[in-house]
Structure 1
Amino acid sequence: MKAILDTRQTRHDPQNFMANGVVSRSPEQPARIDVLRAAAEAAGYRFEAPSDAGMGPIAAVHSAEYLTFLRTIYPRWQRIEGAAPEVIPNIHPASRTDSYPKSAIGQAGWHQGDTACPIAEHTWESAYWSAQTAITGADLVAAGETGVYALCRPPGHHAFADLAGGFCFLNNSAIAAERLRAEGLRPAILDIDVHHGNGTQGIFYRRGDVLTVSIHADPARFYPFFWGHAHERGEEAGLGANLNLPLPRGTDDDSFLKAMETALAAVESFGTDCLVVALGLDASIDDPFKGFAVTQDGFHRIGQRLKATGLPLLFVQEGGYLSDALGPNLTAFLRG
């Protein structure tokens, strides 16, 4: 079975993460790649490098203004006297209708939604190859592969069309789904990360040609807080094409799998002919974020249930952070 990875993704090495007012080392570390690669290989997957499809598939999802920002902000930031080594915003607009500034500081606030997405020298390079990894995975599925694992890092599902956030810069799952749609397929995205895929929802919220479904911890008291509530169903052409299934903190295997039945019923009703799975492993009982209580056996059962759909599957890696359980959880999922 095929898996895709570009090792240039390891060059993004964020140092700072602020939570509850405390700055610490980011949990989204390059070492995740080594753990996840070994785990996929243990499940029988064999890695190959992605092709370079260029900027077109990325620009099909993200605004040109935002992509210019990501490509240029680091050298611009370095010209600020006394600036930190990483681009981290300290001011944000009150709304997306506010004026767009010219300064690097102001644009950082416009395009970075929180303090969990610092930009350093190699961030753009790693994010670009993370996106190309997802694009190659989509191309393989479009060509007839039935199951492909795209080891994407940094992850992507918190990235909107013009806004980074939550460790994410380019929305790999959305880029892959749009690539599949452009090939004449009818994709759905099922996000099983413990955090709501708010960027993915935002990208497709007014569109009806890609179904977005997310199973996640209730955002009333969990990141990303402002998105992911059950009443958010889409707007305009997208009304009814977005389904959020927020679950209580501590949700276990059986409750998660019950929610998956609801999710997959929506996928079937949409007439989906290929499924992009935004694969977060941070629903684990052992994950540092402690949102859900899914076990290793639970991940195996989730994998089995997805295979039972009979749909071509593209697994796009999202969250899942360093713990002794991270690798075994991925192996169990992929074996399932």
Structure 2
Amino acid sequence: MKLKGIHHVSAITANAKKNYEFYTKILGMRLVKKSINQDDPSVYHLFYADEVGHPGTDLTFFEIPNAGNTYPGNHSISGTSLRVPNDISLDYWINRFDKFKVSHDGITTENGRKVIHFRDHENQRLTIVSDENNHGVSGGKPWKHSNASLTHGIIGLGPVKLTVPDSEPTIAILTEVLSFKQVGSYPSPIDGQEDILVFSTGEGGTGAEIHLETRNDLPREKPGRGSVHHVAFRVDNDEELEKWRERLMEARLPNSGVVDRYYFKALYFREPNRILFELSTDGPGFATDEDTEHLGESLALPPFFEDQREEIEANLKPLETKRSHS
């Protein structure tokens, strides 16, 4: 059994409206699902992705209105990257970030790829990464109505960075349980720190990597707005997810068991550095309950929440996401 790559990354925002404006109007991603946090139906769960929400293109946010600031540190998912087609695309994004006054660090090279490290309005740690030399998992396709360039638009999730004080236990889970292999390393940008290790799964490439940073000089991260809640990895189908559950049991890793999220099935567990991992099926997908042309335009509730719709809608602050179809 091999995981197929990154499925999605879920982060925290304190303001759904401002979040929606940044990720759709500046980054040009498509809101493919406006739903609720199934563990707390009083708040939004927003899903941004490519044209139809292909697995591996999906960055999601839980709205937690009273979330405080994030204090970055250890035991964390410390970086999320977004793939763009090639090196020339980075020039487009530099100009766009300057136009919209988005904080960024310019174009640099990391692990042999051109990247731009940048932050959203809540200091979410993000990276644009070039797919120029990608020979692994293919990216998605920008939405035809995107606010950003279709030629240079975001085509999916790239490598996810983890920061831990002791890498060995995490390496053991990645390689002995989850099918990742170490495929390289690159120097830490912080003087005196160990190299950042690169792990890959499935077809490999930009959409299938974990970058593991060891930092014994940092406190534990205090999460809040702008922090990442979990990273999910792609599993082919329900049958395979059940086999992964059995493998976690054999490895004596406490886990959630299979959870039906309606748009996919999920399985959650924490690795030894307490980072939350999820295994998610590729299907059935976001078009299960909405027409592809109208994804994300109205509040979508899984059937098991439909009888609470009136109460749920009354508790949510209105968020206008309907597109004009003229």
TM over 0.5: no
Q: Which has the higher contact order (CA 8 A, sep 6+)?
A: 2
Higher-strand-fraction structure: 2
TM-score w.r.t. the length of structure 2 is 0.32
TM-score w.r.t. the length of structure 1 is 0.31
